[in-house]
Amino acid sequence: MDKINYSVVSEFVLLGLSSSQELQYFFFVFFSALYIAIVLGNLLIIMAVTSDSSLHSPMYFLLGNLSFFDICQASFATPKMIADFLSEHKTISFSGCIAQIALIHLFTGGEMVLLVSMAYDRYVAICKPLHYMSIMNRSTCTALVIISWAVGLVHTLSQLSFTVTLVFCGPNEVDSFFCDLPRVAKLACLDSYNTEILIVVNSGILSLSTFSLLVTSYAIVLVTVWFKSSAAMAKAFSTLAAHIMVVVLFFGPCIFIYVWPFTTYPVDKILAIFYTVFTPILNPIIYTLRNRDMKVAMGKIAARYFRPPKISEMPLVARISLH
Q: How far is the CB of 284 from ligand NAG (least distance, A)?
A: 13
Kindly give the pairing relationship between strand 173-174 and strand 11-14. Answer: parallel
Residues 133-162 that bind ligand NAG (CB under 6 A): 141-142, 145
- Of 64 and 109, the one with the shorter C-beta distance to ligand NAG is 64
Q: How far is the CB of 44 from ligand NAG (least distance, A)?
A: 12
CA distances from 228 to 127, 129, 224, 268, 291 (A): 10, 13, 7, 43, 23
Identified binder of ligand NAG from the candidate list 4, 8, 40, 50, rule CB under 6 A: 50
**CA distance from start to end of the chain:** 88
Nearest to 274 by CA among 283, 287, 262, 265: 283
When asked if residue 71 is in the footprint of ligand NAG (CB under 6 A), the reply is: no
Q: How far is the CB of 150 from ligand NAG (least distance, A)?
A: 14
How many CB atoms lie under 10 A from the CB of residue 102? 19
When asked if residue 65 is in the footprint of ligand NAG (CB under 6 A), the reply is: yes
- Of 62 and 225, the one with the shorter C-beta distance to ligand NAG is 62
When asked if residue 69 is in the footprint of ligand NAG (CB under 6 A), the reply is: no
Residue 82 neighbours by CB under 8 Å, 6+ apart: 28, 31, 32, 35
Nearest to 115 by CA among 209, 245, 247: 247
- Of 46 and 169, the one with the shorter C-beta distance to ligand NAG is 46
Task: For residues 76 and 73, give the distance between their C-alpha atoms in angstroms, rounded to a whole number.
Answer: 6
- Of 195 and 279, the one with the shorter C-beta distance to ligand NAG is 279
Q: Which residues are near ligand NAG by CB under 6 A?
A: 46, 49-50, 61, 64-65, 68, 141-142, 145
